[in-house]
Structure 1
């Protein structure tokens, strides 16, 4: 957990985490927060917001680039700007990005490649996306992969 959280500091804030900050996020994990919720916390932080333009347009554009690895469409950008003007806080917006179909499909493929050296079949991408959007955690995906015959065949 600590290594993953330290990675968020490097990836999103371009710095190393201080012990108090790492401990803060570890306590959140122990309280039941998922990695996705913590990732959204970093993306919604004042520090990330400041590093990424200090305005909603620039910040939302950075979410598209960072989370979805693509440029926003103008209609998509306008949608999120309207959400912010309507009162959605940065944590809620960042969490919706992290938990959207595109982001979770990317995460599923990343874990499949990491543990069984291939992309997930589109049906499995959709299945894991739905599961993680309901009650499953990324740890469930990893557990499923490391207990698979594909994983055992490689290790």
Structure 2
């Protein structure tokens, strides 16, 4: 786990300056909402050649939900789908308190403390659930191998 001060700094940095934001034209977005607090996140995942060629989000809500989305895009952008799914599973286990935090998660460990805050777990997983929906939708559609989008 990261030192608490560093974790707060990472979360605040991603809340103030979120990365990979905005719609990806031609890519369907998948949205999720946390009805308990009203946080919303939409994720756009462009899969090309078995990799996450682009990963963007938009949303509104608390620092945890928005920084979790931003951190997710940074951690997974360009990754092979298999690796992205492995990271997502490790992150989910960490947030749910089902496993010790994996140092391989890097800056995603800033959110590991959420595992102690049951009411906030949903916030930390919101974007990840939307990503899972997007990947499931993408995998059910025929793909052009390594074809560049126009």
Common fold by TM > 0.5: no
TM-score, normalized by length of structure 2? 0.26
Pick 1 or 2: higher relative contact order, CA cutoff 8 A, min separation 6.
2
Structure 1 length as normaliser, TM-score? 0.25
Q: Which has the higher strand share?
A: 2
